Amino acid sequence: MQEKSKLDILKEIVDQGQYVVVLCGSGMLEECGFHSLKDQNAAYEIEEKYGRSPEYLYTDAFFNTRTEMFFEFYKNEILVELEPTESVKTLAAMEKAGKLKCIITSNIYELSERGGCRNVIDLHGSIYRNKCMRCHKEYPLEYIKNAPKIPYCEDCHGVVRPGVSFFGEMLDSDKLSRTLEEIEKCDVLLLLGTSLSSEVFHNYVRCFEGSRIVVIHTKPTLMDDKADLVIYDEPRNILPELGY
Q: Active-site residues: which are they? A: 124
Torsion of CA 79, 38, 105, 232, to 10 degrees: 120
Helix H segments across 74-159? 86-96, 111-114, 141-146
Pairing of strands 130-132, 120-122: unpaired
Pairing of strands 160-161, 130-132: antiparallel
Distance, in Å, from the CA atom of 238 to the CA atom of 221, rounded to the nearest integer, reads 19
Burial bucket for residue 174 (CB in 10 Å: 0-12, 13-18, 19+): exposed
